[in-house]
């Protein structure tokens, strides 16, 4: 069950909870106030509940966040996205990655490391299809051409990263420092090979 990592920090969208029975949204300025307000609301309306009210509220808050915000704010049973939209921001990031890669002299990680990464991505719930702007997808997909004939045994399962939108078949071969140039602001899940802290 998902829960918030830090109850003292307001999650994206602030402290609010939509009561599933009535559809009414209840808000507060702190987590404790939200739990109190929801409890009061339910008592006033004769609504009963089972288990921890706080856990129910946290699960709902985490469930409405996008993948990036979920990873940044929640723990436990993250809900992966079904696809990742690739847009102008991704293209700019891609160009930044390529610029950094070229200026660092290019180079790829060892094949063994690429295969280790590919195996992790292949089993990752954030390894998803790209969708959206076709021109952007074409540009982002061009990174594959830079790789020459490099591949891994997991290529058939590699799609796009649901966090940053990177194309999996390519990124597993690139040095971490190069990839970092375009990944500031992204929080990767704990099992991700791109996570550096």
DSSP secondary structure string for all residues of the chain? --EES-TTSPPTT-SEEE-TTT--EEE-SSHHHHHHHHHHHHHHTT----S-HHHHHHHHHHHTS-HHHHHHHEESS----SEEE--HHHHHHHHHHHHHHHHTT-----HHHHHHHHHHHHT-TTEEEEES-HHHHHHHHTHHHHTTT---TTGGG--EETTT--BHHHHTTS-HHHHHTT-TT----TT-TT---
* CB of 19 vs ligand SF4, minimal distance in Å: 33
Question: Applying CB under 6 A, which part among 87-95, 139-147, 148-156, 185-193 lies near ligand SF4?
Answer: 185-193
Contacts (CB under 6 A) with ligand SF4, residues 162-181 = 163
- Out of 7, 28, 120, 176, the residue judged to bind ligand SF4 by CB under 6 A: 120
Contacts (CB under 6 A) with ligand SF4, residues 128-167 = 161, 163
Residues 6+ apart with CB under 8 A from 78: 2, 62, 67, 70, 71, 125, 189
Question: Applying CB under 6 A, which part among 15-23, 32-40, 123-131, 132-140 lies near ligand SF4?
Answer: 123-131
* CB of 1 vs ligand SF4, minimal distance in Å: 21
Question: Applying CB under 6 A, which part among 23-31, 44-52, 124-132, 133-141 lies near ligand SF4?
Answer: 124-132
* CB of 152 vs ligand SF4, minimal distance in Å: 12
Q: How many residues interact with ligand SF4 (rule CB under 6 A)? A: 12
Q: For ligand SF4, give the closer residue by CB, 65 or 121.
A: 121
- Out of 91, 124, 143, 174, the residue judged to bind ligand SF4 by CB under 6 A: 124
Residues forming the site for ligand SF4 (CB under 6 A): 120-121, 124, 126-127, 161, 163, 188-189, 192-194
């Amino acid at each position: 069950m998902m829960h918030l990592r830090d109850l003292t920090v307001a999650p994206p969208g602030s402290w609010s909870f939509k009561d599933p029975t009535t559809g009414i949204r209840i808000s507060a300025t702190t987590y404790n106030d939200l739990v109190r307000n929801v409890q009061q609301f339910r008592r006033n309306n004769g609504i009963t509940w089972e288990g921890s009210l706080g856990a129910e509220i946290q699960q709902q808050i985490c469930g409405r966040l996008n993948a990036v915000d979920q990873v940044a704010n929640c723990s436990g049973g993250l809900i992966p996205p079904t696809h990742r939209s690739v847009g102008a921001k991704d293209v700019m990031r891609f160009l930044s990655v390529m610029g950094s890669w070229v200026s660092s002299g290019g180079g790829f990680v060892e094949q063994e490391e690429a295969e280790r990464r590919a195996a992790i991505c292949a089993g990752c719930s954030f390894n998803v299809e790209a969708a959206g702007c076709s021109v952007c997808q074409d540009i982002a997909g061009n990174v594959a051409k830079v790789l020459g004939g490099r591949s891994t045994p997991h290529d058939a399962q590699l799609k796009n990263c649901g966090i940053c939108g990177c194309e999996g078949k390519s990124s597993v071969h690139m040095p971490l420092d190069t990839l970092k140039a375009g990944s500031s602001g992204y929080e990767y899940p704990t099992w991700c090979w791109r996570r550096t802290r």
